[in-house]
Structure 1
């Protein structure tokens, strides 16, 4: 009877090849037995080959399964893309000095590093150390995308995730684009010739498949072009998929992304806050601490806390276009209330009026 081997799980990164020797006849009594080779060779991956193996899995799940990718494919896309990002960033960081991949470099010991017996830094910490210590010119936008990918991975790993498929595809394409550039510029230089050649072979395949993913995204945006043109004045970059397709025109269902179908139902305040934080990188605490105005304010027209004064709309980019995510009003003249309350007013100077909200006016009148 021939020996049956279990099929390899296509949903996991491929490891080393198993070699199962052909069955042999039982030797006669008294005949000296020869030592058989081990049927399972040691598992061995360098950090770089490990990270590249995860990327191979990511591209398979995005391009070789169902069209469009199934929920299961997208799940493994998130998990393996996060793993690839972490491993490859740390592989480059260790080239500066092995202690930098320890959570606390002051506690680093070479013996612990060689055994893999230590607590390492997180993915974002590795990114920051590559930027601030190794001096690599990495972009803040890439850091934000990696942070969001880490959040998705943690959600999947620990308590499940419900997220829009189009948004995951779009975000994955952007992180893949970052990694391909990172590998080419900062990882391949310095590798040993044999490993560099292996990585370059994988890179050729990655570039071709990434183009296919990007073409799907581009095609979808092209399909939406005429629809988006009608609402361009109130269209901004979506904080979920990062496409210029989030429409805040006061529609009843709330701000909506036409690309990824994310909707903030009757919650324009949350949409405005997400946009200000994820796309503009602004939050109340940091901005106020630096002496600036809050990124989100009460709208002078509808009164909802959903006005983003520094919004950037499709026709207005790269300049700012104050936009209310609740009523869809675009403002041309905004000033701060001179009563000191922090309110924002839509005001047209006439040489006589003082920009002041009704509450501050009533307060002053009560004093007299």
Structure 2
């Protein structure tokens, strides 16, 4: 039963009278996952979204991911949902006392054993969601930046899109035709996703006039995944969509680690840092950046001065990590 269905049940009513309590509180994995997803789209709709809405959107989205991905793993073989499949007992699965596999193990087993296609970008977003859920649930906030509606809504839309495709391709084919409750939940999820997409598109439209003249200095933000981070302005990089910002040197390092790869970090006296820009000498050069001006082409882009040059993967003036391997 989803939140909208609970709201339709009067308080103190005897809707559950005569039902076995164990049966009443039983949520099979797919029904459970769909229930969480309905909650996510409910918390992310409307103009007035507060901190509580954001928290539960993240917590419930992660719960939905775990339910649905582990269901598909169980379809492959029930022992695969255990942290250590060699020690799996069917009785532990049935009574819920098992120690289940981590999200990273789940993704690896789905791709390597079940043959489920999950792209590197999707894997990264799923892992980022799990990390954000842990930070919000256990610490109440992220340590590195402010959690806001724009970041969470953008990330949620992308994970929701993945989950809708995952449901269609990997979950529903293994189930009987959906009953009325499942069909209604699927409808609410798809409609909610459309509304979230519309909001994301509207916000991008509002900031487009600022982004348009800066395309050659605009890169994809690793937090919200939008091409909205402007670099090379007043010694900082800042995402106009979600607000992620920092010094040019720090943001160049973060961008490289998150979106390019550690092989483009250099070592200087044993210390990892970004390469030096040949134009301004700041240690804020990103080798292999992709800009909004040409997202399919790599360039060497300085996050300090904004100068872009032809992509060269390796510099000779310092020890490149690639050359040290």
TM over 0.5: yes
For residues 335 and 283 of structure 1, the distance between their equivalents in structure 2, rounded to whole angstroms, comes to 12
Q: 2:286 aligns with which of 305, 308, 316?
A: 308
Instruction: State the partner residue of 2:52.
Output: 72
Q: 1:204 aligns with which of 164, 180, 187?
A: 187
Question: Using a 3 Å threshold, how does the CA distance of structure 1 residues 185 and 38 change in structure 2: closer, same or farther?
Answer: closer
- 1:102 paired with 2:102, answer no
User: Is this contact kept in 2: 1:295–1:310, CA < 8 A?
Assistant: no
Q: Does the residue aligned with 1:310 lie in a helix, a strand or coil?
A: strand
Instruction: State the partner residue of 1:360.
Output: none
Instruction: State the partner residue of 1:51.
Output: 33
Question: Using a 3 Å threshold, how does the CA distance of structure 1 residues 9 and 121 change in structure 2: closer, same or farther?
Answer: closer
Report the CA distance between 1:201 and its aligned residue.
Answer: 3.0
User: Is this contact kept in 1: 2:289–2:299, CA < 8 A?
Assistant: yes
Question: Using a 3 Å threshold, how does the CA distance of structure 1 residues 68 and 230 change in structure 2: closer, same or farther?
Answer: farther
User: Is this contact kept in 2: 1:103–1:122, CA < 8 A?
Assistant: yes
For residues 335 and 46 of structure 1, the distance between their equivalents in structure 2, rounded to whole angstroms, comes to 50
Q: Does the residue aligned with 2:203 lie in a helix, a strand or coil?
A: helix
Alignment of 1:1-368 (within 5 A): 20-21=13-14, 37=18, 42-63=24-45, 66-161=46-141, 162-195=146-179, 198-252=181-235, 254-264=236-246, 267-280=247-260, 282-284=261-263, 296-332=274-310, 338=316, 341-342=318-319
Of Structure 1 and Structure 2, the greater helix share is in 2
Report the CA distance between 1:150 and its aligned residue.
Answer: 0.5
For normalisation by structure 1, the TM-score amounts to: 0.76
Of Structure 1 and Structure 2, the greater strand share is in 2
Gaps of 5+ in 1: 1-7, 23-35, 289-293, 344-368
For residues 14 and 75 of structure 2, the distance between their equivalents in structure 1, rounded to whole angstroms, comes to 39
For residues 15 and 119 of structure 1, the distance between their equivalents in structure 2, rounded to whole angstroms, comes to 34
Report the CA distance between 1:342 and its aligned residue.
Answer: 3.4
User: Is this contact kept in 2: 1:20–1:39, CA < 8 A?
Assistant: no
For residues 112 and 305 of structure 1, the distance between their equivalents in structure 2, rounded to whole angstroms, comes to 54
Q: Write out per-residue CA displacement over residues 68-108 of structure 1, whole angstroms, 9 at most, x where no aligned residue.
A: 42121111000000000011100111000000000011111
- How many corresponding residue pairs? 308
Gaps of 5+ in 2: 267-271, 321-325
User: Is this contact kept in 1: 2:229–2:240, CA < 8 A?
Assistant: yes
For residues 83 and 314 of structure 2, the distance between their equivalents in structure 1, rounded to whole angstroms, comes to 45
User: RMSD across aligned C-alpha pairs, in angstroms?
Assistant: 3.0
For residues 315 and 192 of structure 2, the distance between their equivalents in structure 1, rounded to whole angstroms, comes to 53
Report the CA distance between 1:10 and its aligned residue.
Answer: 6.1
